[in-house]
């Protein structure tokens, strides 16, 4: 397609899909290296496909809300109008701590591309494909999932924790087990998720299915996925998060009985021994939670063991 024809086609397609008109001539990037310069209203070309950028994705962590991820763009295909997430190459490395262990994390578009190839057609995971731009950067084009993240879903339910645990938790636990099996599927094939978090499970609005997103992190700690599942389990059992302060505010008499052994390995301010806060949490489920605590007497060696124990918890509910 000639340059003038391509620009006219872009303008026509923007109008065809009822999108906000471009402010001027189309600005087209076939090299995504300098992703900070790619903004709303610009066009990204990947092979023969053109995508209109609608903005940057945002993410809230560690009490800081809605931080833009400039290398992750919301976009619309100008061929068919479908929504996508475009993940551009971002070179980043950082360290986190699990108990006394320091773990180095880095981003790898190549690993995420491998995951996308492996899970194609498996809707426990986000779907998409990887394409190199004109500079050789590996861009991941992700199909948009209409849904909400796990944390927002459970914490947004307007009911008491006891009602939640009785009425909603059995279904959520069943889907959590399926999600854990999906991570086991990756690990059994030599791949990892790498960034297991409560906002990296989306609950699809139409089906209620749990779907994993974001696979571009890798670590130098082989059991990182396994240990991270404890954070998901805390979220679904607690109906969000329960800190030591939350627990004592709910039940002031707990203060003398709560100690460091009850804390999460990852987050020392969160209570993993939730039976102390909610006495109706069954003992078997408490045993599973405590294997992810700082006072753990025994730890899991595999995700399959976690799944097996949670199946037993599910049967007893």
Tens-digit pLDDT profile for residues 135-191: 999 999 999 999 999 999 999 999 999 999 999 999 999 999 999 999 999 999 999
Are 65 and 158 in the same domain?
no
Q: Which among 18, 53, 88 is the end of a domain?
A: 88
pLDDT digits (tens, 9 = 90+) for 64-108: 456 889 999 999 999 999 999 999 999 888 888 777 778 899 999
Is 164 within a domain? yes
Is the residue at 133 inside a domain?
no
Query: pLDDT tens across 1-21, in order?
Result: 667 799 999 999 999 999 999
Residues 152 and 42 in one domain: no
**Beta strands per DSSP E along the chain:** 28-29, 43-46, 49-61, 64-77, 83-87, 93-98, 101-107, 128-132, 138-143, 147-149, 201-204, 210-212, 217-219
**% pLDDT > 90, the chain:** 88
- Provide the pLDDT for residue 60: 58
Do residues 41 and 151 both lie within one domain?
Answer: no
On whether the CB atoms of residues 86 and 70 are closer than 8 A, the answer is no
What is the pLDDT averaged over residues 27-37? Answer: 97
- Do the Cβ atoms of 157 and 290 come closer than 8 Å? no
Going by the DSSP 8-state scheme, the letter that residue 243 receives in this structure is B
Sign of the Cα pseudo-torsion (208, 161, 268, 101, in order): negative
> Model confidence at 300, in pLDDT bands (50, 70, 90)?
very high
pLDDT score recorded for residue 222: 85
Residue 121 lies in a domain: no
- Full residue range of the structural domain in which residue 78 is found: 3-88
What is the pLDDT averaged over residues 252-281?
95
Within a domain: residue 136? no
Neighbours of 165 (CB within 10 A): 23
Answer yes or no: do 63 and 189 share one domain.
no
Asked if residue 62 has pLDDT above 50, the reply is: no
Work out the mean pLDDT of the chain and round it to a whole number.
94
260 and 159 in a single domain? The answer is yes
CA–CA dist 220, 82 (Å, integer): 37
pTM over 0.85: yes
Asked if residue 134 belongs to a domain, the reply is: no
Residue 199 in tokens: 């906002």
How many domains does the chain contain in total? Answer: 2
Q: Is 103 a domain residue?
A: no
In a domain, 296, yes or no: yes
> Which CATH number covers residue 241?
1.10.510.10
Domain end (from 88, 105, 137) = 88
């Amino acid at each position: 397609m000639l340059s003038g024809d391509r620009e006219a086609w872009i303008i026509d397609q923007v109008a065809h899909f009822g999108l906000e008109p471009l402010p001027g001539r189309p600005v087209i990037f076939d090299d995504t290296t300098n992703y900070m310069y790619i903004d709303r209203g610009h066009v990204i070309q990947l092979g023969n496909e053109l995508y209109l950028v609608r903005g940057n994705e945002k993410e809230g962590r560690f009490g800081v809300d809605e931080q833009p991820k400039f290398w992750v763009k919301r976009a619309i295909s100008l061929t068919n109008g479908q929504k996508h997430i475009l993940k551009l190459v971002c070179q980043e490395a950082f360290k986190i701590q699990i108990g006394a262990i320091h773990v180095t994390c880095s981003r790898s578009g190549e690993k995420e591309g491998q995951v996308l190839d492996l899970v194609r057609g498996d809707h426990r995971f986000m779907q998409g494909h990887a394409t190199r731009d004109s500079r050789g950067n590996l861009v991941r084009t992700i199909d948009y999932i209409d849904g909400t993240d796990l944390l927002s879903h459970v914490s947004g339910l307007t009911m008491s924790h006891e009602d939640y645990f009785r009425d909603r938790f059995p279904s959520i636990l069943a889907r959590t087990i399926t999600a854990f099996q999906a991570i086991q599927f990756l690990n059994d094939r030599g791949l990892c998720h790498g960034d297991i978090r409560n906002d990296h499970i989306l609950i699809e609005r139409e089906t209620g299915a749990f779907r994993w997103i974001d696979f571009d992190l890798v670590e130098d700690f082989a059991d990182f996925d396994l240990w991270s599942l404890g954070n998901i389990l805390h979220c679904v059992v607690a109906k969000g998060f329960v800190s030591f302060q939350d627990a004592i505010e709910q039940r002031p008499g707990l203060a003398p009985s709560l100690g460091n052994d009850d804390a999460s390995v990852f987050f020392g301010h969160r209570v993993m021994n939730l039976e102390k806060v909610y006495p109706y949490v069954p003992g078997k489920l408490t045993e599973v939670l405590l294997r992810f605590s700082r006072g753990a007497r025994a730890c899991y060696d595999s995700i399959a063991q976690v799944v097996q124990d949670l199946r037993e918890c599910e049967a007893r509910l």
